[in-house]
């Protein structure tokens, strides 16, 4: 993909140019915003440590492999790499747990392998469904959520299937 090579610097430049047009201090804004990135890293690091420790324990004990093996026929039947099954299971519940599982998959199989890419596409195109639903409904004082959860989970399922499909199709 030659185009995606230029995409990142081009987007950065475009954002900088739009800020400059509003007479903003571009470099100062970048530095100030960069601090948010450090805060974000500090905020997710403890949960990465705890979850990756739990996950490594599961993998080294053999339990993760057994679970994957159990669900493998089902996943393979719909074209999803069986290794990504743990990711599907945690994705709707916890964003940091999904990030940890995805990172583990990419580290073990390589970020550019089919499994690594499938995991990345799944992470990039789905959200923490149950968390989002509960935040929205409790904040808006909604008692009856009607079809929100089933519709959102249908979207997640479609996302997982499509991620597996397009990881194979696109380079």
Q: Considering the rule CB under 8 A, would residue 2 count as an interface residue with other proteins?
A: no
CB of 78 to other proteins, least distance (A): 14
By CB under 8 A, name the one of 11, 70, 74, 78 that touches other proteins. Answer: 11
Contact 160, 129 (CB under 8 A): no
Contact 122, 87 (CB under 8 A): yes
Taking CB under 8 A as the criterion, which residues in 69-128 touch other proteins? 90, 93-94, 97, 99-100, 102-104, 106-107, 110-112, 116-117, 120-121, 123-128
Rounded to whole angstroms, the Cα distance separating 159 from 168 reads 14
Q: Is 128 left (phi over 0), alpha (psi -120 to 50) or beta?
A: beta
Taking CB under 8 A as the criterion, which residues in 142-171 touch other proteins? 142-148, 150-152, 154-156, 158-159, 162-163, 166-167, 169-171
Q: Count the residues in the chain.
A: 171
User: Three-state DSSP class for 92?
Assistant: coil
Taking CB under 8 A as the criterion, which residues in 19-48 touch other proteins? 19-22, 24, 26, 29-38, 40-41, 44-45, 48
């Amino acid at each position: 993909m030659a185009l995606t090579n230029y995409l990142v610097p081009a987007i950065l430049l475009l954002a900088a140019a739009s800020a400059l047009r509003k007479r903003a201090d571009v470099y100062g804004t970048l530095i100030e915003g960069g601090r948010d990135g450090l805060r974000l890293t500090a905020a997710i690091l403890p949960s990465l440590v705890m979850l990756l420790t739990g996950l490594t324990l599961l993998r080294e004990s053999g339990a993760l492999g057994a679970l994957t093996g159990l669900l493998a026929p089902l996943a393979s039947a719909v074209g999803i790499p069986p290794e990504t099954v743990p990711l599907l299971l945690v994705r709707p519940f916890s964003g940091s747990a999904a990030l940890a599982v995805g990172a583990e998959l990419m580290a073990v199989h390589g970020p550019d392998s089919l499994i690594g890419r499938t995991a990345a596409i799944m992470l990039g195109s789905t959200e923490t469904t149950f968390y989002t639903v509960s935040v929205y409904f409790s904040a808006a004082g909604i008692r009856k959520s009607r079809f929100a959860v089933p519709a959102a989970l249908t979207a997640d399922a479609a996302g997982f299937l499509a991620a597996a499909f397009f990881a194979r199709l696109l380079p």
